[in-house]
Amino acid sequence: MLTFHNVCSVPISFRLTGIPGLESLQIWLSIPFGSMYLVAVVGNVTILAVVRVERSLHQPMYFFLCMLAAVDLVLSTSTMPKLLGIFWFGAGDIGLDACLGQMFLIHCFATVESGIFLAMAFDRYVAICNPLRHRMVLTHTVVGRLGLASLLRGILYIGPLPLMIRLRLPLYKAHVISHSYCEHMAVVALTCGDNRVNNVYGLSIGFLVLILDSVAIAASYVIIFRAVMVLATPEARLKTLGTCTSHICAILIFYVPIAVSSLIHRFGHYVPLPVHTLLANFYLLIPPILNPIVYAVRTKQIRERLLQIPRIKTKIR
C-alpha cells in the first residue's frame, strides 16, 4: 500500500527491513544467524529429549529446565525463520494481524521465561534452605502450577499490548518497520494519534517483569548465600553453591542482554540503528543458544547422558 507524507491510513501489511543499514551484507549475516538458530533448536530439543528419557532427571529443577527449553524454542522460532526469509528471499512483508501475533509471542514468552527463572530460584531456595521438605513442597503438581502461572502471567501482562494497538491506534503514517521483527516500540512509533498510553503500559510491564523479578531472584539468593555460609566446611559450601551455578549463569544470560537492549532502545538515541536491531535479535538468540550449553556442561546427569550417545551409536555399528 502506498502512503504519502502526513497521510495516515489503515495498513493491510507491513514491510520489515531486516537489519536496516546493512542490507548489502544480509546474505552474509544469514550464515551466523542461521547457524545460531540451528544450534538453539538442536540444543533445546536435546535437553527436552534427555530429560524425558533419563528418569533420574525427573526432578523439579529439570522440569523447569524443560519449560525453559520450550520457551526458548518459541522465542527463537517466532523471529529467526522470518529474519532468514528476509535475508535469503527479501520476504519482508507481514500482515497486520501476523505482525501483532509475532509481537505477542515475543513479549509474552520473554515474560514467561522470566517467571520460570523466578520459579527456579524458589526451587533452589527450598532445596538449600529446607532440603528435608523439598520433595513435599515442590511436587510435580506444584511444579506444573508454577509453570502454568508463569504462562498465564505472560498472557495477562502482554495480551493488552496488541489489543491496545489494534483498537486504539488503527491508523499508521508509514508501513515500513525498520526492524527485523514486530517489536512493540517499533510498531507504536509508526502509529498516528496519541500513543502515550501504549508507551506507559509497555514501560510498566518492563518494570514489573525485569525489575521486580530480578529483585525477587536476588533476594532469594541472599537468603541462600546466608544459609550456605553457616555450613561447617568450605567443601560443603562449594558443593551446595555448585547446584546454583547453572541457574545463576542462565539468569545473567537472560537478564543482561535484555536489560542492555531495552536501555539502548529507550535512551541510546545516538546508537546507530543497526546496533539497536542486532542487539534486539541477540537477546532473543543468546539465551536459547547458551542455556542448553550451560546446563549440559554444569549438570553431571545431563553430561553423562549426552556422552553415552556416541557409545550407543558405536555399539550399534
pLDDT at site 270: 74
Stated as kind and residue range, the H or E segment containing 210 is none
pLDDT at site 182: 94
* Mean predicted confidence (pLDDT) in 181-191: 90
Cα 173 versus chain centre, distance: 30
Q: What is residue 131's DSSP assignment?
A: G
Torsion sign, CA atoms 128, 132, 133, 139: positive
DSSP 16-28: E-SSTT-GGGHHH
pLDDT at site 206: 84
Is it the case that residue 4 has pLDDT exceeding 50?
A: no
CB 271 within 8 A of CB 264: yes
Can you read off the three cell numbers belonging to residue 182? 514486530
pTM given for the model: 0.91
Q: What is the mean pLDDT of the chain?
A: 87
CB 21 within 8 A of CB 274: yes
**Residue predicted with more confidence, 309 or 239:** 239
Q: Of the segments 68-77, 191-200, 282-291, which one has the largest average pLDDT value?
A: 68-77
Residues with Cβ < 8 Å from 28, sequence gap 6 or more?
A: none
pLDDT at site 266: 66
Residues with Cβ < 8 Å from 93, sequence gap 6 or more?
A: 13, 14, 15, 16
pLDDT at site 185: 86
What are the tens digits of pLDDT across the range 9-32?
A: 888 899 999 998 888 888 999 999
pLDDT at site 276: 82
Is it the case that residue 241 has pLDDT exceeding 70?
A: yes
Is it the case that residue 265 has pLDDT exceeding 90?
A: no
Band of residue 6 on the pLDDT scale cut at 50, 70, 90? low
Distance CA 198, CA 112 (A): 21
Percent of the residues in the chain that have a pLDDT greater than 70, as a whole number = 93
Distance CA 62, CA 246 (A): 12
The 93-95 sheet, strands edge to edge: 93-95, 13-16, 176-177
Q: How many residues appear in the chain?
A: 317
Count CA atoms closer than 13 A to 279's CA, side-chain side. Answer: 19
Can you read off the three cell numbers belonging to residue 118? 523466578
Give the range among 34-48, 102-116, 292-306 with minimum mean pLDDT. Answer: 292-306
How crowded is residue 97: how many other Cβ atoms within 10 Å of its Cβ? 11
First to last CA, the chain: 59
Percent of the residues in the chain that have a pLDDT greater than 90, as a whole number = 47
What are the tens digits of pLDDT across the range 243-257?
A: 788 888 889 889 888
Distance CA 131, CA 128 (A): 6
Is it the case that residue 177 has pLDDT exceeding 60?
A: yes
**Residue predicted with more confidence, 52 or 234:** 52
pLDDT at site 261: 73
Residues with Cβ < 8 Å from 280, sequence gap 6 or more?
A: 179, 180, 181, 183, 261, 265
